[in-house]
Structures are given as C-alpha cells and as structure tokens.
Homo-oligomer: A and B are copies of this chain.
Amino acid sequence: MQTIGILGGGQLARMLALAGAPLGLRFLVVDSAEDACAGQVAPLLRTDWRDFDRLGEFAARVDVATFDFENVPAETAHWLTEHVPVFPNPRALAISQDRLAEKTLFREIGLDTPAFAPVNSRDELARALEHVGAPAILKTRRLGYDGKGQFRLKSAADVDAAWEALGGAPSILEAFVPFERELSVIAVRSREGEFRTYPLTQNWHADGILAASLAPAPHAEALAPVAYAHARRIAEELDYVGVFALELFVRDGELLGNEMAPRVHNSGHWTIEGAPASQFENHLRAVLGLPLGDSGALDIHVMLNWIGELPDPLPILAEPRAHWHDYGKSARAGRKVGHATVCARSAVEMRERLTRIGKALGREAQVAPVLAALTSD
C-alpha cells in the first residue's frame, strides 16, 4: 500500500485523494491551514513551507510527493527531492512558476505567444510598452493566479500606476490579445514517459477566474493535434511527470500559448465524470509509474464553477447527468468553493440541461457563452 504526499490541501488535493482511494492509495496532505479542505478526506499534517523538521516527517511518511499548489517555494521543492521522489520535478515547477521562463519555453518549442518583454523597473516598463504596444497587461512573473498580480495598461499614461500596483515585483509585460477563444489542453506524462492528452477544452473566464468549461471544445478538429503536439514537446522538454494544463488563446484561427499550470487543473474537472480515467486518477498513475488510463471524452461535458459561495444544489441534483461537487470550504469572495459537471450525449440535450440550470439558479450569464458555443455551426 503506497502513500502519496501532497503539498497543499485544497480542493485539488481533496479530489486527488478521492480518486486515489479506489486505487488502494493512502494520502498525507501538508498545508499551513488547519481547516484545509483535503483534510476532510485524508490525514493532514499542518506545517509551514519552511519548517524542515515537519517536512522531514512528511517525507518519511510518504512514498512519492506531488503538488496541489504550484507556488511551493523552490527551496522546499529542492529540499524534498533529496528525501523522497517528487513529481513534477523542481525545474518544471520553477519554469511554470515564472511567466517569463514559461513564455520563453513556449517560443523555444515552437508555440507562438503574445508579444512580451521582461520588466524589472519603471523605465523598463515604459520601454517594454513601446516594444509590445498598448493595450498590454503587466503581470508579476511569480505567484499570479486567477487574475491576481495583474494590471492592464491602456496607454503610456498608465505606466506609473501599473508599476505601483504590482509593487515593483519582477514582472512581464504582455500584449493584450483580442482572442476569439480560450482553450486548454490537459496532458499527462508518466514516469515511464507515456504521454496522453484529454480532448481540447474551451474555457470562459469572469473577473479573471474560470467560470465555465466545455469539452470536447467544438469545431477544434484542426487545432487539436497542433495543441497536443505542443503539450507533448513541453512535457518532454521539461521531463515532466504528472498532469499539467496548457492554456491557449485562439487568434485569427492560430494558437498562442498563454500559460501552463504544473498540476491538475480546474479546466479538467469535467474528466471526473467525462473520461474513463479522470485527470486526478491519471496524475496518480503518472507519478507512480503505472500505465496511464483512457483519457478520451465519453460524451459532451460542461463544468460550471462556483465562486465565492455555493448556489442552491437542488436544480443540479434534480437534473439528469448533472454532478455536484462541494469542496467543503467556507464561503469567501473570489474563492473556488465547488463546481458542477453536466454531461449529455448530444449538443441539443446539453443545451436543454444548461438552459434549465441557468434559469433555475439565476445564472443565465454563466451558461450563455457555453450555449452560444454549442449552437454555432
């Protein structure tokens, strides 16, 4: 019986533990918060990321370690690799923690990106804006997620405000891309080098946070193999082990690399019901060196994110093939507290289900772009 250690005890760790139980796996989760929601389904060890005594206890109790949270300090990840196998490896983690290194890698493997430039000072920001062009987005190189650590510049007049907003942190200025669609590839590579992708997923954000996903992304037959090939090159370049998400924009019908997340990803939650082996199960198989599971989509799947607080569960529970996911977290503005996945055999059936759900929950705006994507021919 093997024990998987997970750094970070949020909903991703929780869903990893739930997916791993049928595989006969045990878990140990470390988190700084006593009420980390993964602690409801797996043993929780409370520690700071720099408490190496506690981390040593953690390492001694697990067979392999992985992440719920990519912003674990690089120092901690490195230290751990000396005590227990850690996947993904610290280099992969470090590159995907740094927007500049990440975009540089994308270009190296042949994936185009929006124009970008590094920014380490106010003056460099001004020069970068001339190079990249307005509008543009200034983002901290590290610790950004869900739209945090970002500032949008409409013109050179915004340089001072932007530089101040980000507190002078090492940053990257990116051209604002008027994209047509946002897509993501959920990919997985095992310790044995086996590689698989889930079908391309189309995503919609609201206030910088994922609001809805649709898989397989419609009308993506031409883009999908290109996206999968990029994901494979990134995985092989980083000797990546585990699941990762590659987020892409589509502009003028071409793919642009936005960012990667070195872990199971919100846009892959639909795989719990929608794929024979979910992203959570495949991440565990990958880090254990087991054969990867079937990552095809069984039907059409839509994931609706619950941000801040949960809506009334009854319209989801009453809807055929709709699945409720409550992460066991308390409500807080901007916090991911749960999601629902709706499955259907046809676009017509999916539209009916989403329309009923949107209406019953008063969330017509959340389902509207998905409905539009399902109707466009």
Chain A: residues with CB nearer than 8 A to chain B?
1, 14, 17-18, 21-24, 26, 40-42, 276, 285, 290-291, 293-294, 296, 298, 310, 313-314, 317-318, 320-321, 323-328, 338, 343
Q: Which residues of B contact A23 (CB under 8 A)?
A: 313, 324, 326
Say whether A21 contacts B26, CB under 8 Å.
no
What residue of chain B has the Cβ atom nearest to residue A330's Cβ?
Answer: B1
Say whether A21 contacts B22, CB under 8 Å.
no
Say whether B343 contacts A317, CB under 8 Å.
no
What residue of chain B has the Cβ atom nearest to residue A314's Cβ?
Answer: B291
The smallest C-beta distance from A248 to any residue of chain B, in angstroms, reads 27
Say whether A320 contacts B294, CB under 8 Å.
yes
A sample of 11 cross-chain residue pairs with beta-carbon separation below 8 angstroms, ordered by A number, consists of A1-B328, A14-B21, A21-B328, A22-B326, A23-B313, A24-B328, A290-B314, A291-B318, A293-B317, A294-B320, A298-B298
Say whether A291 contacts B317, CB under 8 Å.
yes
Say whether B294 contacts A317, CB under 8 Å.
no
Tell me the bound Cα distance from A41 to B317 in angstroms.
24
Q: Which residues of B contact A291 (CB under 8 A)?
A: 314, 317-318
Tell me the bound Cα distance from A328 to B24 in angstroms.
5
Q: Which residues of B contact A290 (CB under 8 A)?
A: 314, 317
Tell me the bound Cα distance from A323 to B21 in angstroms.
12
What residue of chain B has the Cβ atom nearest to residue A40's Cβ?
Answer: B26
Tell me the bound Cα distance from A328 to B343 in angstroms.
31
Which residue of B1, B41, B285, B323 contacts A41 across the interface (Cβ within 8 Å)?
B41
The smallest C-beta distance from A278 to any residue of chain B, in angstroms, reads 11
Q: Which residues of B contact A298 (CB under 8 A)?
A: 298
Tell me the bound Cα distance from A24 to B340 in angstroms.
12
Q: Which residues of B contact A1 (CB under 8 A)?
A: 328
Which residue of B22, B41, B323, B338 contacts A324 across the interface (Cβ within 8 Å)?
B22
Q: Which residues of B contact A24 (CB under 8 A)?
A: 310, 324, 326-328, 338
Tell me the bound Cα distance from A14 to B317 in angstroms.
22
Say whether A22 contacts B18, CB under 8 Å.
yes
What residue of chain B has the Cβ atom nearest to residue A310's Cβ?
Answer: B24
Tell me the bound Cα distance from A327 to B22 in angstroms.
7
Tell me the bound Cα distance from A18 to B27 in angstroms.
14
Tell me the bound Cα distance from A320 to B196 in angstroms.
13
